């Protein structure tokens, strides 16, 4: 039960349907913008990541023509990380060698590649403001705590 009264009894504000229609049109506009700016030559998996992230960046005002290569690099690194992680999960993340020092457990080379790609991905996430912590840097609505920010109107 969602509320106190059945859905058929509750009256909606007249602007509710207008807002719903405007929201759908706005979402379509951002998807079209993402499709328009999608770079050529992306793989199918990279396009999936692009179609997931680019409309959101467009809605936030962060998908601009001069950022396309940067967002494309995000897609490339994300796909590469996912494929390496899938490969490592299907095998073992480590292997065993036996030598004069006995048995040794070593990480596969793909683990080092995954770590390197994760560092690249984390940097791209931070620069695009895609994490909760870094999104705060892009929030222009937060003003001074004391209301005496003389540089706020610049």
Model confidence at 27, pLDDT cuts 50, 70, 90, reads: confident
Q: How many CA atoms lie within 13 A of 55 on its CB side?
A: 15
Residue 19: inside a domain: no
Q: What are phi and psi of 104, to 5 degrees?
A: -130, 135
Residue 17: inside a domain: no
Residue 151: inside a domain: no
- What is the C-alpha to C-alpha distance for residues 68 and 37, in angstroms, rounded to an integer? 7
Residue 126: inside a domain: yes
| Contact (CB, 8 A) for 124 and 77 | yes
Give the model confidence (pLDDT) of 115-134 as tens digits. Answer: 999 999 999 999 888 888 87
Residue 139 in this model has a pLDDT that exceeds 80: no
Give the range of the structural domain holding residue 111, as residue numbers without chain letter.
41-134
Residue 117: inside a domain: yes
Residue 95: inside a domain: yes
Give the model confidence (pLDDT) of 36-58 as tens digits. Answer: 999 999 999 999 999 999 999 98
Residue 143 in this model has a pLDDT that exceeds 60: no
- What is the C-alpha to C-alpha distance for residues 111 and 70, in angstroms, rounded to an integer? 24
DSSP string of 44-63, one letter each residue: HHHHHHHHHHHHHHHHTT--
Residue 1: inside a domain: no
Residue 32: inside a domain: no
Q: How many domains does the chain have?
A: 1
* Residue 75 CB contacts under 8 Å (≥ 6 apart), including other chains: 42, 46, 47, 49, 50, 53
Percent of the chain with pLDDT over 70: 74
Determine the pLDDT at residue 132: 81
């Amino acid at each position: 039960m969602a509320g106190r009264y059945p859905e058929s009894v509750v009256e909606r504000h007249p602007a509710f349907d207008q807002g719903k229609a405007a929201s759908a049109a706005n979402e379509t506009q951002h998807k079209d913008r993402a499709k328009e700016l999608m770079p050529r030559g992306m793989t199918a998996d990279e396009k999936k990541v692009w179609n997931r992230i680019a409309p959101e960046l467009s809605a936030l005002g962060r998908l601009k023509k001069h950022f396309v290569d940067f967002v494309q690099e995000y897609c490339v690194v994300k796909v590469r990380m996912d494929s390496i992680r899938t490969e490592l999960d299907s095998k073992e993340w480590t292997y065993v060698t036996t030598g004069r020092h006995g048995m040794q457990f070593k990480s596969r080379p793909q683990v080092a590649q995954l770590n390197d790609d994760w560092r690249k991905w984390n940097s791209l996430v931070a620069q695009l403001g895609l994490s909760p912590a870094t999104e705060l840097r892009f929030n222009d609505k937060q003003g001074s705590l004391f209301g005496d920010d003389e540089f706020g109107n610049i």
